[in-house]
Structure 1
Amino acid sequence: MRRLAAASLAGTAVEFYDFFVYGTAAALVLGPLFFPTFSPLAGTLAALGTFAVGFLSRPIGSALFGHVGDRYGRRPVMFASLLLTGCATVAVGCVPSYASIGIAAPALLLVLRFLQGLGLGGEWGGAVLLTAEHAPAKRRGLWASFPQIGPSVGFLLANGVMLTLSAVLSDEQFRSWGWRVPFWAAGLLAAGGLLLRSSLAETPQFTELAEAGERASAPLAEVARGHWRLVLLTAGALAVGYAVFYAVSTWALAYGTERLGVSRTVMLGCIMAAVAVKGAVTPFAAMLGDRYGRRPLCLAGCAASAVWMFPMVGLLHTAQPLLMFLGFLGALLAFITMFAVVAAYLPELYEPRVRCTGAAVGYNLAGVLGGALTPIVATAASGGAGSGPPWAVAGYLTLVALLSLGCFALLPETLPVGEEPAEPAPA
């Protein structure tokens, strides 16, 4: 289990590094480089639009790779998804700017961001199921949480590289070539991740399905026919997690640097410190899920998110590093209370024959609802806030949290306290 957990964590860290480094670049430099004819606000919105494309392609990737995972095994998904995302990320760092090739530059960004999203859409399902289906039932939440630490590690790697380059390069050097270095580094990270995954074994549950001849012939069709309500509920339930995380990591970064005049170094430092604490807390929250159930922690995290959004926006607007850090930390602790347990919760909601497709599609549809829209909506809303705090952003995030709270309330518990989780009955 330690080897499996380490390989899953490393792989998700690399894939989310690829995904996050684009979000940071979109908030900091892609607007003026690839949309120079736009106003500063419109350029940022356009860059965040290319960021959103990665979320739109993630459900497509989860369906494609979910088919592979349910038909041919969880293990092949982990190789193919990592290879695709790594290659697309390296290519982003090679795209010439608008000044060099004109409209082809943002068009290439869109295509490569789409491919990034395809790969990441498959990664989560493969990595989570590899640990969840190997794990003992009473510790499934803990072991399955290790892939959920990967996004924190990937975020810290991506932004650590950006922070270092911002500190050692002049603004002209950073905008000219420095922002490309983190994308090129993705190639080395992807190679290391593939090496770690080379010796992993297939999961026992998939092996049993294959030997019994019970694999789904068309997993997506089965999910659409028999589990569509569950997919929509899980997508709505998890939307708040994406909304909160990308409000902190992408919108707040752009708002702090452009509207509040805070330096890139300070903003990245505040966000990274909060993400580091979130990553450290993840396994402890997962252990609470093993003890008290998945659903109670998800409900608590949603409620905390709804309560904290207005204080978070107020603390951000102070432009004081310590206060901004506390605002971000409260939001991310509410977020991880939910997302530490969903790696065990979602697979337990689906029967094994369609688990890779169902869990991944629900998880990545939530990314469209919460992750793709939030930076764009929040940037547009804060653009008309004048000199006061952007309360409209807080209101939007609170509404998303309440929507997710309602969806979680309609989902069943999969782990009765004191019992092992039961496998779902076939649809």
Structure 2
Amino acid sequence: MSESVEAPGPGHRRGVHRAWWVAAVACVAIVVAGAFSTMPGLLVDPLRDEFHWSRGSIGFASSVNMVLYGITAPFAAALMDRFGMRRVVGGALTVVAAGALLTTVMTAAWQLTLYWGLLVGLGTGSMAMAFGATVTNRWFVRRRGLVTGVLASGSVFGQMVFLPVLSWIVDHYRWRPALVTVALAACAVVPFVWFVLRDHPADVGREPYGARDFVPKPPPTRGAARRALTVLRDTARTGPFWLLAGAFAICGASTNGIMWTHFTPAAHDHGMAVTTASSLLAVIGVFNVAGTIASGWLTDRYDPRRLLAGCFALRGLLLLFLPMMMTATVQPSMMLFVVLFGLLDLATVPPVLALCREFYGEDSAIVFGWTNAAHQVGAAAVAFLGGVARDAFGSYDTVWVSIGSLCGVAALMSLVIRRPTATEGERVLTEERAGAAR
């Protein structure tokens, strides 16, 4: 069933461009999806106390959730080409709400894996950055980097907004009301998605933001799963894909894999209180938002390869020096590390997405979904291997140095990416950057 198309007219030229409303609703959906990622850490102790389940069985559900979050993204991007963003995102919000509500009535550990791991993992994966890439690709010609940065920061912003609220609910009313809260938040966004989000500017008779001419809506692409796999097969034959995927795998290893998993226990090894270390991670999250938006702004103006290399190089230096900053108390050097690392944490997303767009055009959202899957694989590998190294060496120092060195490799990989031969699309992008610089 096709979406209704509004005829273009003079009224469409007044006021705020519809693209900004679409981006705003997309951001809200991503923020709510980010709220779900805060719940696993809040559920471990309550579930152990009530059901006496092992940490392994609880952690397995979270692992399934994380893996599906990464794998789902490219298929969701292909489904958006087939059925439209409105249907896919609305359905994803409904699925995560159902998964959260079903979790409140579970009685066995396998149900946690089914409801939280499978349903919530599939739903949140459908609203990962591949969704943000689809929005920017279709609705924006100019300011793509800025919009990408805002949407990429939405997930972290959701964690920042919901974490204190959900923590308070768990402390005062136990864990089930917290799950009901995130489920209701997801349901509340569905009407906005349905009435505001549109698949393509042509659906409302507009040109994309910054475009000079009206762009017809392409026909739906059938065989979404086949297309996602076909895009992977075709892009896997190109060098830039492996360089981007490899660099993004290192990105995942040096952020989700090591910092969000092992920073708190590593700081505790040096005598720092767990609550203090967790607060430092929260500060990193605050600066994530500013750093990602700034990176998007810079991506509109400068070569994304150099920007990406700079992010990796600086992140690597910070990780190399981190063992010398670890103390029982928070020193100025540690606060400097937290601020700088926060600014760099998600700053890699806009330039990677820009490079996917330059190389792979209309397939870029799906390609970015696959590179994001590599990001999750890198994160999962280091989350496991970091703990193994700590058990083997008695400290995390070797881990910080190893991951910092890998960031240097990622910086080199970013620089050796050869940009495609000049095309009309690249010329438009160059003009966009020139105009933004002016």
TM-score by length of 1: 0.78
2:339 matches 1:339: no
- What's the counterpart of residue 409 of structure 1? 415
- What's the counterpart of residue 398 of structure 2? 392
Q: CA deviation at 1:12?
A: 0.9
2:271 matches 1:271: no
Give the alignment partner of residue 363 of structure 1, picking from 364, 367, 372.
372
- Aligned amino acid, residue 248 of structure 1: M
User: Structure 1 182/310 Cα, relative in aligned 2: closer, same or farther at 3 Å?
Assistant: farther
Given that 1:132 and 1:143 are in contact with CA atoms closer than 8 Å, whether structure 2 keeps it comes out as no
- Aligned amino acid, residue 349 of structure 2: F
User: Structure 1 160/346 Cα, relative in aligned 2: closer, same or farther at 3 Å?
Assistant: farther
2:150 matches 1:146: yes
- What's the counterpart of residue 6 of structure 2? none
Query: Per-residue CA shift, 1:350-399, capped at 9, x if unaligned?
Result: 231x34422212222321222x233332233334554xx52122034224
Q: Equivalents in 2 of 1:301, 1:66: separation in Å?
A: 27
2:143 matches 1:134: no
Q: CA deviation at 1:300?
A: 0.7
Given that 2:68 and 2:125 are in contact with CA atoms closer than 8 Å, whether structure 1 keeps it comes out as yes
- Aligned amino acid, residue 134 of structure 1: W
- What's the counterpart of residue 236 of structure 1? 246
User: Structure 1 15/316 Cα, relative in aligned 2: closer, same or farther at 3 Å?
Assistant: farther
2:72 matches 1:61: yes
- What's the counterpart of residue 228 of structure 2? 220
Q: Equivalents in 2 of 1:262, 1:278: separation in Å?
A: 23
Q: Equivalents in 2 of 1:110, 1:205: separation in Å?
A: 41
Given that 1:149 and 1:282 are in contact with CA atoms closer than 8 Å, whether structure 2 keeps it comes out as yes
Given that 1:67 and 1:219 are in contact with CA atoms closer than 8 Å, whether structure 2 keeps it comes out as yes
2:90 matches 1:79: yes
Q: Matched residues, percent identical?
A: 16
- What's the counterpart of residue 261 of structure 2? 250
Given that 2:47 and 2:53 are in contact with CA atoms closer than 8 Å, whether structure 1 keeps it comes out as no
- What's the counterpart of residue 293 of structure 1? 303
User: Structure 1 377/214 Cα, relative in aligned 2: closer, same or farther at 3 Å?
Assistant: same
2:389 matches 1:381: yes
Q: CA deviation at 1:270?
A: 2.0
Q: Equivalents in 2 of 1:162, 1:415: separation in Å?
A: 50
Given that 1:244 and 1:332 are in contact with CA atoms closer than 8 Å, whether structure 2 keeps it comes out as no
| Number of residue pairs matched by the alignment | 392
Q: Secondary structure at the match of 2:197?
A: coil
Given that 1:82 and 1:119 are in contact with CA atoms closer than 8 Å, whether structure 2 keeps it comes out as yes
Q: CA deviation at 1:56?
A: 1.9
Q: Secondary structure at the match of 2:37?
A: helix
Q: Which moved more, 1:283-292 or 1:79-88?
A: 79-88
- What's the counterpart of residue 320 of structure 2? 310
- What's the counterpart of residue 189 of structure 1? 185
Q: CA deviation at 1:6?
A: 1.5
User: Structure 1 369/115 Cα, relative in aligned 2: closer, same or farther at 3 Å?
Assistant: farther
Give the alignment partner of residue 10 of structure 1, picking from 10, 28, 32.
28
Unaligned stretches of 5+ in structure 2?
1-18, 205-213, 431-438
Given that 1:58 and 1:121 are in contact with CA atoms closer than 8 Å, whether structure 2 keeps it comes out as yes
- What's the counterpart of residue 13 of structure 2? none
Given that 2:31 and 2:155 are in contact with CA atoms closer than 8 Å, whether structure 1 keeps it comes out as yes
Q: Equivalents in 2 of 1:59, 1:267: separation in Å?
A: 27
Q: CA deviation at 1:204?
A: 4.0
- What's the counterpart of residue 197 of structure 2? 200
Given that 2:92 and 2:124 are in contact with CA atoms closer than 8 Å, whether structure 1 keeps it comes out as yes
Q: Equivalents in 2 of 1:358, 1:18: separation in Å?
A: 25
Q: Equivalents in 1 of 2:160, 2:396: separation in Å?
A: 27
Q: Equivalents in 1 of 2:403, 2:62: separation in Å?
A: 19
User: Structure 1 184/390 Cα, relative in aligned 2: closer, same or farther at 3 Å?
Assistant: same
Q: Equivalents in 2 of 1:392, 1:72: separation in Å?
A: 48
